Structure 1
Amino acid sequence: MSNQIEDLCYRLKQDLRQFNSNLTPISIIKPSSSTNRDELDQSFMYSQLLKEIILDIPYDDKAKQEYVDFCRIQYANNHTQIKVINEFEEKYQPSSSIWWYTQARFIYSTLNEALRNQDTEIVIKMGFFLRDLHYQIEQLYSKMKNHDRLNVFRGQGVLLTEFDKINNSRGGLLSFNNFLSTSTDEDVGYMYADSARGNPDVIGITCSIEIDSSISTAPFASIDEFSNFQGNENEILFSVHTVFRIVDMQEIEDRSWQVNLTVTSDDDPHLTNLTKYIRDEINGSTSMHQMGQLMIKMGKFIKAGKIYKTLLDQISDNDQQEIGHLYHQLGIIKQENGDLSDALAFFLKTLDIMQQHLSPNHSDLAIVYHNIGLVCRGLGEYPKALSYYEKSLEIELKSISSDDQKLATTYCNIGLLCKDMGKYSMALSYCEKACEIQQKSLPIYHPFLSTTYNNIALAHYGMGNYVEALSYYEKNT
């Protein structure tokens, strides 16, 4: 009887793993994509940035306690899980992170669901554990990296649309947006892929992953000794957001495919260019500043606001420039949310501080002037908007290291403001200046150029130059 119960528990655990496996999201980067943001898979960008920031944040015991308190609320009616949570609170050490990941449902399920859904609030709460798990995998990897070559397998189901993306991206990059469980046993991979085919909307794929330890630096580790499936699955666990290259694909049988992958190396040119571009998207003096920037880019404005308010509470009153920066970020959040009056109040606070501490022609002042201009235009205060835009433009034109695209953006925004004011001739002049800069520095089909052509067409239309307007509209199509 006890053996039957054990077998049933084992099968239930396998079913749960299959369910979680089929939910694992995949990010795809085509071979042609490198620095064109419109072509990049946004989940790839955000997962990579989130991973880098989380691994850089210094955590303390308070972080673990906050997560434990959170879990007690989530599992308040589950006495079994509360018992495990209490044990975790008492016994957890960074060196036991893999064990807890494989044994505790309140960790495994919560972490993977948060990574899958890019629930940054939960990911940040679990950041201490994510970091510990990554570093323990890395530590174990350093002991086994002498293997010349290793093949591991991963089976799961994917929707037809996702399968088509993979099939059309051979030679490109692929990543799973969580910690990736694989097996050295090919049959285990095929088993999971085959069982996924029970759903008619799903294609079963078996990823055959070739690892060359002489060039690969992606950390992975054998975790059989820690796992609930000891000895049954020969489990290899990759750290979060490991990046692979899609080599080729073969159909095995109806709705079942093998996808051949290799682990990328740090000097992979495609990945190197992509990583540099992604890192350039976020800047900040600390990990939490970078996290705030990332939340803004992801459109998670409430979370971003909480981060910047926390930083504001922690800053010394003597650090006025940092306070000015934080006010500016809070202004951007309010602006993105459409709270223009609040945004203006924050930007004016920033301006007051910066004018006291920066030279009149400092580039940071140009940014603040520009943002105040944007908000004033949104509030319908056109003369004020024009005044602030002109102050921004004056600084940009004097700057030796002026960013051409920023200058073009300023010209465009002044042009749009002039159009709103009915000054179509001035609007045309400013938009043409923007176009001249962009034509020299951007590809001919760049979306910024397309927007500028549209703005020029609007100016011509306002002046009654319908033939010219049509000409620029046609460039936009």
Structure 2
Amino acid sequence: MLNRALRTMEFDIIMKMDFSIRDLYEDMDRLHVEQSIGHRKSDSFTVYRGQGLVKTDFNQLVKTKCGLLSSNSFLSTSKNHNVSLNFARHSMLNSDLIGVLFIMTIDPSLSSTRFASIKNVSCHQTERETLVSIRSIFRIGHIKQIEHDNDRLWQVELKSANDADSQRHKFTERIRQRTMELTGWHGLGQLLIMINQFSKAEDLYKVLL
């Protein structure tokens, strides 16, 4: 429910879960620091996430190939390829969705991707779950159809954005400049207006009334 609310900007739910989100973010940050100490580039690992995307979002993703992707929600991922692929397949039961298997290569030595292994506290330990944090930044790589006879099942390769990536610096600096004077829920509303998300801004202000 939390992931869906963050992804679709359901502000009434987000506000009710505000403290839970902060606690989760702080716990993740602590675990990330603990689990990343001493890691080098050679310690990169791969996790998978299967989900459904509406066609407009999938088409936008394809257009952004080789560009940057920033997560706007916590992402539950697994080191089990088959488990994640099954999630992608299951999403196709909804005819409006494209099944997507994200193959995410995470470099613990880079600051662009915040993550924490939660396999020891997860209810599904066989999935070897890793949680990827909000605002993690990836470089979009190869996008291909998984099955030749099925144009609704795709895989997308993502890699942690390099700290020295000039495009990443421009991307994050642009966000910082836009948001440095914006605080609280009203600040978020102003940001949504800046990026032409007028209907979402209207939804937010209705909740704030």
What is the TM-score normalised by the length of structure 2? 0.80
| Correspondence list, 1:285-364, <5 A | 287-288=183-184, 291-296=185-190, 297=193, 298-299=201-202, 300-302=204-206
Which of structures 1 and 2 has the larger relative contact order (alpha carbons within 8 angstroms, sep 6+)? 2
Confirm or deny that 1:279 pairs with 2:176.
yes
Q: Say yes or no: does 1:142 pair with 2:33.
A: yes
Tell me which protein shows more strand as a share of its residues: 2
SS in 1 for 2:116: strand
How large is the RMSD of aligned CA atoms in angstroms?
2.3
The residue matched to 2:113 in structure 1 has which SS?
coil
5+ residue gaps, structure 2, are 194-200
Corresponding residue for 1:199?
A: 94
- CA shift, 1:242, in A, is 2.0
Which structure has more helix as a fraction of its residues? 1
**Percent identity at matched positions?**
34
Cα deviation, residue 217, structure 1:
4.2
Distance 1:184 1:168 in 2: 27
Residue 244 of structure 1, aligned match among 128, 134, 138? 138
1: CA distance, partners of 2:158 / 2:54: 19
1:135 & 1:114 partners in 2: Cα distance? 19
Note the residue ranges of structure 1 that are not aligned, 5 or more in a row: 1-108, 307-477
Q: 1:169 aligns with which of 64, 68, 74?
A: 64
Asked if the contact 1:163/1:203 (under 8 Å) is kept, the reply is: yes
Secondary structure at the counterpart of residue 114 of structure 1: helix
Secondary structure, aligned partner of 1:195: helix
Classify the secondary structure of the residue corresponding to 1:281: helix
1:1-39 per-residue CA deviation (whole Å, 9 max, x = no partner) reads xxxxxxxxxxxxxxxxxxxxxxxxxxxxxxxxxxxxxxx
Q: Give the Cα separation in 2 of the matches to 1:120 and 1:273.
A: 28
How much has 1:266 moved relative to structure 2?
Answer: 4.1
Classify 1:226/1:214 alpha carbon distance in 2 versus 1 (closer, same or farther; 3 Å): same
SS at match of 1:214: coil
TM-score normalised over the length of structure 1: 0.37
Instruction: Flag the 1:129–1:270 CA change in 2: closer, same or farther, 3 A.
Output: same
Of 75, 78, 84, which residue of structure 2 is paired with 1:180? 75
Q: Deviations over 1:183-228 (max 9, x none)?
A: 1111111111122223333221111001122224422111122112
Match of 1:225 among 120, 128, 136: 120
User: In the superposition, relative to structure 1, how do residues 170 and 157 fare at CA in structure 2: closer, same or farther (>3 Å)?
Assistant: same
AA in 2 matched with 1:241: R
Instruction: Say whether the 8 Å CA contact 1:172–1:246 is kept in structure 2.
Output: yes
User: In the alignment, residue 179 of structure 1 is paired with which amino acid?
Assistant: F
